[in-house]
Amino acid sequence: MRGTKLKIAVQKSGRLSDDSTNLLKRCGVKFNNGLGKLKSEAENFPIEIYFLRDDDIPQYVADGVADIGIVGENVLAETRQNVDSIEKLGFGKCRLSLAVPKNFQYQSIKDFEGKRVATTYPQIVREFFAANNIAADIHTISGSAEIAPSIGLADAICDLVSSGSTLFTNGLREVETVMLSEAVLIVRKTLSPELQTILDKLLFRIKSVKAAAQNKYILLNAPNENLAEIIALLPGMRSPSVLPLADSDWSSVHSVINENDFWTVVESLKSKGAEGILVLAIDQMIQ
């Protein structure tokens, strides 16, 4: 494809890589992301994909090497580049937390006063302590913060946590959450009108994919005597579709429900006599 292209930076290999490329693919963008590729051109959408280390993405976007990027909010906060974060993407969820050895008698954040804290996020941690009026000694390390206390390098750490099992296996206990994070779409400060048009199209698709992921399509058979109550349980996008069944005492009801309410709604539907409940994933949801 010729003409103006929007350049998007995604993580080359790591925790955000698969989710980032899958998101683009679900937006209908076709490209080849074969191993070792640094750059790929989409076949059917005016974008070019750059595969980079996550820490470099904010700066590349700020400098205009890329127009947009997908990166964790933690990396964005640490690198403090002048870019706009325009959409949360719902994956790469984690938290940046302070953790102490299990035998540390922790009572409050004041216990960090004068302590050595190892982290790969010095800027965020420094700001957090400053905001809480704590003078701690921050040791910047480049990785594996969780081993710092056991080798005597620090009294505590500040690192990303998702399941908590890394902290647990290293004899550490999470005591304070410094920030919550997930992957976000970042954009450089000024885009030409052509690039903005491409971004608006992509963003529209991203929002549809996100909405679809949060919702399910549900079909069921409802006894007509309870139809009103069953419809009330299923608000749908506007309202549920109701079709007559060959058996005149029953109707088929189609609707969309939010994943979070899913099990509660299904239980209520069953208690109202709903049968043959089918639940389907939605590919895209255009709103």
Q: Does 181 bind ligand PRT (CB under 6 A)?
A: yes
**CA atoms within 13 A of residue 197's CA, in its CB half-sphere:** 7
10 binds ligand PRT (CB under 6 A): no
94 is a contact residue toward ligand PRT (CB under 6 A) = yes
Nearer to Zn ion among residue 91 and residue 250 (C-beta): 91
Nearest distance, CB of residue 142 and ligand PRT, angstroms: 10
Among 54, 67, 111, 176, binds ligand PRT (CB under 6 A): 54
Q: Quick one: what does residue 11 bind among ligand PRT, Zn ion, none, with the CB cut-off 5 to 8 Å set by partner type? A: ligand PRT
Determine phi and psi for 165, rounding to 5 degrees: -70, -30
Task: Return the number of the residue (18 or 43) whose C-beta is nearest ligand PRT.
Answer: 18
Tokens of 47: 């974008």
Residue from 21, 74, 81, 208 touching ligand PRT (CB under 6 A): that is: 74
Nearer to Zn ion, 19 or 55 (CB): 55
Phi, psi of 276 (to 5 degrees): 55, 45
What string of DSSP letters covers 101-122?
Answer: ETTS---SGGGGTT-EEEES-H
The item of Zn ion, ligand PRT, none sharing an interface with residue 223, based on CB under 5 to 8 Å by kind, is: none
Token pair 């109550």 is found at: 229
d(CA 281, CA 184): 24
Nearest to 252 by CA among 229, 274, 228, 281: 274
Q: How many residues bind to ligand PRT according to rule CB under 6 A?
A: 21
Minimum CB separation from ligand PRT for residue 181, in Å?
5
Q: CA–CA separation, 176 vs 173, rounded Å?
A: 10
Question: Nearest to residue 145, comparing CAs of 106, 100, 180?
Answer: 100
Contact 158/115 with Cβ under 8 angstroms? Answer: no
The region of 68-76, 122-130, 134-142, 212-220 touching ligand PRT under the rule CB under 6 A is 68-76
Binding flag, residue 14, ligand PRT (CB under 6 A): yes
What residues line the site for ligand PRT (CB under 6 A)? 11, 14-16, 53-55, 72, 74-75, 92, 94, 159-166, 181
